[in-house]
Amino acid sequence: MSGLVVQGVTVKAGERTILDGAGFTAPAGAVTGLIGPNGAGKSTMIGAVMGLRRLVRGTIAFDGANLPAMLPAERARLCAHVEQFATTTERLTVGDVVGLGRVPFQSAWQAAPSAQDETAVASALAAMGMATFANRLYQLLSGGEQQRVQIARALAQEPRMLLLDEPTSHLDIKAQLLVLDVLRAQAQAGCTVLLAMHDLNLAARYCDHLVVLDAGKVVAEGTPADVLDPDLLLRVYGVAATIVQVPGKPYPLVIYDSAPNTD
């Protein structure tokens, strides 16, 4: 299958098992949502796919290639990663930060960005609605603006796989929809898109495929309509919910009823 195939992945921190034999697929040309409560292992899974976490067991393949065995530079020409908490202490402009997405394609002796690099940076900034921000200092932007710049950096990388860890957590609703529309367009162009997210209604609307992680294990995987089931939401999140089908909308809507009393 083309896309990402994760099988039986176990990751530990010291003696503690963080991912416990977790497996799922993220097909090419689709948006896959990785959902699950805080601490379920979503960021650890994305880190494992990016080669940042050592696998105790399991395999991770992208388009049939063994991803953990790749050199970081080789992986960076295929996969872009937007971290949950991206920070920089450097005094970089927005244009510089987005330009970092082009580094995997530049040779050590290249004095200046190529015309192709400049086009990729400009179109990534435009896609995020940040074209007028290129000369602003990244450090001085708001959290939501920085988040859009990080996504632009990943888009400038023109990756075959995009991994995004809660990419809309600081965004207003319009910016959330903008980002998710851009990610859908990336998938339609053939990219494999995997994003960790919390908003189940946005997940239902934008994801073709959902993977539910709970305590390091994949407990459900399938279409939003298959996965978003009241029993599962109660079991995984401890929240009572009703799933409704709104006439004319092809995706389910989650209505949160209550968090049961845990006294």
Residues forming the site for Mg ion (CB under 5 A): 42-43, 84
43 is a site residue for ligand ADP (CB under 6 A): yes
Q: How far is the CB of 227 from ligand ADP (least distance, A)?
A: 16
Q: Which of 1, 2, 39, 244 binds ligand ADP (CB under 6 A)?
A: 39
Cβ 57 vs Cβ 140: under 8 Å: no
- Residue 177's SS3 state is helix
13 is a site residue for ligand ADP (CB under 6 A): yes
Q: How far is the CB of 38 from ligand ADP (least distance, A)?
A: 5
- Structure tokens given for 57: 């067991």
Q: Please count the residues of this chain forming the interface with ligand ADP, following the rule CB under 6 A.
A: 11
Q: Which does 102 bind (CB under 5 to 8 A by kind): ligand ADP, Mg ion, none?
A: none
Nearer CB in complex with Mg ion: 136/217: 217
54 is a site residue for ligand ADP (CB under 6 A): no
Burial 157-187 (b: 16+ CB within 10 A, else e): bbbbbbbbbbbbbebeeebbebbbebbbebb
- Residue 230's SS3 state is helix
Cβ 16 vs Cβ 166: under 8 Å: no
18 is a site residue for ligand ADP (CB under 6 A): yes
Residues in Cβ contact with 147 at an 8 Å cutoff, skipping those fewer than 6 apart: 167, 168, 169, 170, 171
Q: Which of 44, 146, 176, 192 binds ligand ADP (CB under 6 A)?
A: 44
Q: Which does 18 bind (CB under 5 to 8 A by kind): ligand ADP, Mg ion, none?
A: ligand ADP
168 is a site residue for ligand ADP (CB under 6 A): no
| Amino acid occupying residue 183 | L
* Whole-angstrom distance, CA of residue 116 vs CA of residue 9: 37
Residue numbers at the binding site for ligand ADP (CB under 6 A): 13, 16, 18, 36, 38-44
